[in-house]
Structure 1
Amino acid sequence: MTAAAIAIDWLIGDPKWPTHPVILIGRWIRWVEERLHPRESITSPIEGIHPKWLRLKGFLLMLSTITLSFIVVLVLVHFANDIHPWLGYAVSTWLISTTVAIKGLKDAAYLVYNPLREGNLADARKYTGYIVGRDTDALHEEELTRAVVETVAENIVDAVIAPLFYALIGGAPLAMLYRASNTLDSMVGYRNDRYRHFGTASARWDDALNWIPARLTGVLLILVALAKPGLSAPRAAAAIRRFAHLHPSPNSGIPESAVAGALGIELGGLNVYGGAASERARLGWPLRPRTQRDIVNAVSMLYGVSFVVMGGLLCVVLIF
C-alpha cells in the first residue's frame, strides 16, 4: 500500500478537493479553535485567562483532532475491507497518498523557480510568500532561493518520510493521525501572542512524532548525496553533526543541514517577520553563492529520497 501511495502522489499530487482529508482536518481545527479560543483575542488582551488554561484548551484541540482523524479513517478502512479486501486496499492506499505531498512540494518550489528563471522577481516573491511565514517583499534572488530550499528540505520530513513511516507502522489510520498532527502544528503551533500557550500541545506533539522520521531523513539524504553527482555525502553528514542542533526545532535542523552540506551552500540567517528581524542559525558552509539552480537540486534530493524509499519497499515485497 505504501509503495502504491507514493506512486499515486508522484502521478497525481495533492488535488485541492473540498473533500480532501487534509482540507477537512483544517476546517475541523478552525471550527474547534473558534470555540475554544475566539478570534477576538487577536486584537484584545486575554485578561483573567491563566496560561495553563490556554494550554489545556490547546491540548483539547490537539486530542480531539488526532482522535477524530484516526477513528474516522479506521472506520472507513474497516467498512471497505468488509465489502471486499481489494476495496479496503484501494481505500487505504488512497488515504495514505493524501498524507504525502512529494509532487505538491515540487510544484510549490517550481512556482518560485520558474519566475526566477524568467527574471520576474515580483511573482517569485509572491509565490515564496505562499510557502514561508517571513516577509518576502524585499527579498532578492539569493534570499528567495534560500527560503525555497529551506522549505523543501524541512518538508522532506513532514511531507514524505514521517507520513510513510507511520503508514508502515499503523496503516492509513496512523498516517492520517500524523497528517492531522502536522496540520495542527502548521495552523496553531506558533510562538506569537495568540498561540504561544494555546499551540503548545500541538507543537510539542508534532516535534515528538517527527523525532525518528527526521533522523531517518538525515540518513536518506546522505545516501542520496552519495548517489547523485555534484553532491557531497561526507559534507552532508558533517553538516548534520556540526549544525543541526543549532536550529530552534529539534528536527528541522537535520534535513536543512544535510541539504546545505550536500549542496555546499549556507542556509539560515536573517529573516523578517511582520517587519521584525529575526536571526536564525546558519547551517552549512557558504562555499559558493546560492543560485536559483539550488531549488532544482533541492527538489532532486526530495525525489531522490522518495526513490530510495520506494526501492526499499519494493525490495521488501520481493523478498517476503
Structure 2
Amino acid sequence: MWLYTWQEIVAMTAAAILIDWIIGDPKWPTHPVILIGRWIRFMERKLRNDNEGQDMSEGANTLKVKGVLLMLSTVLLSFCVVLALVLVARSIHEWLGYMVSTWFISTTIAVKGLKDAAYLVYSPLRSGNLADARKYTGYIVGRDTEHLGEEELTRAVVETVAENIVDAVISPLFYALLGGAPLAMFYRASNTLDSMVGYRNDRYRHFGWASARWDDVMNWIPARLTGLLLIFVALLQPGLSAKRSAAAIRRFAHLHPSPNSGIPESAVAGALGIELGGLNVYGGAPSERARLGWPLRERTQRDIVFAVRLLYGVSFVVMGGLLCVLLVWFL
C-alpha cells in the first residue's frame, strides 16, 4: 500500500474491528464523525450565507455547484487531516502510527453502536413500553414514530440495521483495506454528507445532490459484497434462509429508490421471511416505500435480534477472512 504494507493494513483493520466490538463509539475524545458533522454545518452556513430565503432565488445549477464545493471540501479535508495525523504519529514512533491508524479505522465502523441502538428499542418492546420504544426508534430513523405499533417499530429497526451493514461496516472496512485510515475516513465523510444533506426535499434537492450521488458511488461495490455476505451468513444460521435471501435480492432490490440500500434490506427480509418497506410518514406526510421480501409471517420484536445476529455474523466472517490472510502470511 502507499502508506503501509498490505499486511499492516490487514492487521490494523482486524484490530479496529476488535476495538469496535469491545468499545464501540467512545464518549471521549470527540468522535471524528461529530467533527465532520460540525464542519458540514459550518460550510453549509457559509455557502448559503445562513439565509434559507436566498436559496429560493438561486437556480438549481448554482445550488448544485455549492453542493459540490461542500462535498469536495469535506471529503478532502477529512482525508488530509487523518493522513497528516497518521504521518506525524508514525514519525514519532512506528507503533504510535499503528495505534493512531487503528483507532481512526475503528471510528469509521459501528457494529457495537448499531447493536446498542437496536437493543435500545428492543428492550422496551420486550417489556411492553411502546412510549420508550417509539422515542428510541426516533433516534435512528427519520420517519414519524409517535403512533407506530410493535410491528412497525420492528420494521424501522430491522431496516436501519440492514442498511447500515453497508454504511457502517462493509463500506468503511472496504476502503480501510484499500487505503488505510485516511481512505476509511474519506468514506465516512462521504456517508456523513449523505446523511446530513442528501435528502430529496426542497432544501437539499439541489444543494445535497452531489453528496447523495457520491455516496451512491462509494457504496456501489460494498453493497453488493454485503449482499453476498448476508446470504453466506444466513446459510450458517439456523432458522434463516440463504436461498430466499438470494432470491429476494434478485426480485426486490431494484425496487428501492437507492441503488444500494435495497440489496441489504432485501437480503435480510428474505433471510427472515418477512416484508420490509411500506408506508412511512415524514413530518406528517405519508410516503409509500418499496415493499421488499415476502410476508411469510408477521414481524415480531424477535426480528430485531435476528437482524443483529446477521450484523455480527457479517463482521465475524470479515474478521475470519482477515485472520486467515494474516495466518497465511505468517506461515
Q: TM-score, normalization: structure 2? A: 0.95
Q: Which residue of 2 aligns with 1:158?
A: 167
Matched, 1:149 2:152: no
Q: In 2, Cα distance between the equivalents of 1:86 and 1:14?
A: 22
Number of the residue aligned with 2:86: 77
* Structure 2 residue corresponding to 1:31, chosen from 36, 42, 67: 42
Q: Within 5 Å, which residues of 2 pair with 1:219-234?
A: 219-234=228-243
Residue 22 (structure 2) aligns with: 11
User: 223, 231, 235: which one pairs with 2:244?
Assistant: 235
User: In the alignment, residue 66 of structure 1 is paired with which amino acid?
Assistant: V
Is the deviation greater in 81-90 or in 234-243?
81-90
CA distance in 2, matches of 1:133, 1:51: 25
Contact conserved, 1:18 with 1:24, CA < 8 A, in 2?
A: no
- In structure 1, what residue type is equivalent to 2:47? L
Counterpart position of 1:61:
70
8 Å contact kept, 2:111–2:311? yes
Match of 1:306 among 315, 321, 331: 315
Shift of 1:92: 0.4
SS in 2 for 1:46: helix
Give the structure 2 partner of residue 93 of structure 1. Answer: 102
Task: Check the 8 A contact 1:69/1:180 in 2, yes or no.
Answer: yes
Residue of 178, 182, 187 corresponding to 1:169? 178
Provide the C-alpha distance between the structure 2 equivalents of 1:260 and 1:147, rounded to a whole number of angstroms: 12
| Equivalent residue in structure 2 for 1:292, among 301, 304, 318 | 301
RMSD across aligned positions (CA)? 0.9
- Give the aligned residue type for 2:200: R
AA of the residue aligned to 1:198: F
For residues 114-160 of structure 1, give each alpha carbon's deviation from its aligned partner in whole angstroms, at most 9, with x where no partner exists. Answer: 00000000000000011001010010000000000000000000000
Count of matched residue pairs: 318
How many percent of aligned residue pairs carry the same amino acid? 81
Query: Which of these residues, 261, 266, 286, is aligned with residue 270 of structure 2?
Result: 261
The worse-fitting range, judged by mean Cα deviation, of 32-41 and 183-192 is 32-41
Q: Which amino acid aligns with 2:148?
A: L
- Quote how far apart the aligned CAs of 1:20 are: 1.6
Distance verdict in 2 for CA 1:46–1:84, change over 3 Å: closer
Equivalent position amino acid for 1:164 in 2: L
| CA shift digits 1:24-82 (9 cap, x unpaired) | 111111111111124431xx473431110000001000000000000011111111111
Bigger mean CA deviation after superposition, 46-55 or 184-193: 46-55
Q: Does the aligned pair in 1 maintain the 2:105–2:181 contact within 8 Å?
A: yes
Gaps of 5+ in 2: 1-11
CA distance in 1, matches of 2:164, 2:56: 37
SS at match of 2:55: coil
Q: How far apart are the structure 1 equivalents of 2:56 and 2:294?
A: 47
Q: Give the match for residue 212 of structure 1.
A: 221
